[in-house]
Amino acid sequence: MAWFRKEKQALESPPEKTVQTEGLWVKCEGCKKILWKKDLEANFQCCPQCNHHFKVTARARLEMLFDEGRYTEHDSGLASTDPLQFKDSKSYRDRLKKAEKNTGMKDALITGEGQLESTRTIICAMEFQFVGGSMGAVVGEKIARAIDRAIGQRLPLVIVSCSGGARMMEGAISLMQMAKISAGLARLDEVKKPYISVLTDPTTGGVTASYAMLGDLNIAEPGALIGFAGPRVIEQTIHQKLPEGFQRAEFLLAHGMIDAIVPRKEMKAYLGRASRLLGAA
């Protein structure tokens, strides 16, 4: 005879453990140090230890550059129509929907108009989280309209590039934007208003091959990857080992491909001075 009887009870899952500091720390890709997120934000998303420049969103970029972070957004309703009905591992439409949900944007570029160092300026900023910041018909059209506004109002133009290049899901339509934007910038030059190109990590492909390198002044953030084809593709093509630091901003500056490297915390003041010297006022 049993002295006691053990009731059978359903096994319960242990309570989920939560870490109070989860999401408050981030690992630097440069020096591998663990950083307090608020310290990183206070330092313009740059590592206080090694000055590695983290990627920032297009909206954060505009807030950093415009006085008091205030600007008027243009053409926010433009969206891609998937002209080629493209599909690989998933449909292009599904990729667009996912990118819009993740970023709150309809495509990979925001156009803002406001005061930069007390000078009325139009700034276009690319969003890398939207299909790799790639350039399709919408990006091309928004930049073309920004150029038209700059010409019509006699304003300086700044484009902050952060892109994997032309968007393959739109084929030749995306490549057409290179010529379209380049032609627009030639018209901006005719009215003697400055165009300053800011290259951030990464700026590659058709973006580099067109408007990113056509500025009256081409400047880059420290350590930015800038090029057309990637280093691996180049090495496989020429069958040679590339130099150390190839395609980084410092390498391009040393070889005369860009005009300056400007840390992010100094970017606003630098753009203001450069714009005035180039005839913005």
Confidence label for 152 from pLDDT (cuts 50, 70 and 90): very high
User: Does pLDDT of 234 surpass 90?
Assistant: yes
pLDDT at 16: 57
The domains of the chain are located at: 22-54, 56-277
Q: Out of 3.90.226.10, 3.40.140.10, 3.30.1280.10, 3.40.50.2000, select the CATH number for domain 56-277.
A: 3.90.226.10
CA distance 90 to 33: 37
189, 195 Cβ separation under 8 angstroms: yes
Q: At what angle do helices 264-277 and 58-65 cross, to 10 degrees?
A: 60
The more confidently predicted of residues 265 and 22 is: 265
For the chain, what is the mean pLDDT?
Answer: 93
**Least confident range of 25-34, 65-74, 118-127:** 25-34
The two three-digit tokens of residue 128, written as one number: 């890398």
| SS (HEC) of 34-85 | EEEHHHHHHCCCECCCCCCECCCCHHHHHHHHCHHHCCEEECCCCCCCCCCC
**Tokens 């090029």 belong to which residue?**
227
CB neighbour class for 240 (10 Å; exposed up to 12, middle 13-18, buried from 19) = exposed
**Tokens 């892109």 belong to which residue?**
163
The two three-digit tokens of residue 267, written as one number: 């970017």
pLDDT at 23: 78
Q: Which tens digits make up the pLDDT trace of 187-219? A: 999 999 999 999 999 999 999 999 999 999 999
161, 126 Cβ separation under 8 angstroms: yes
CB neighbour class for 9 (10 Å; exposed up to 12, middle 13-18, buried from 19) = exposed
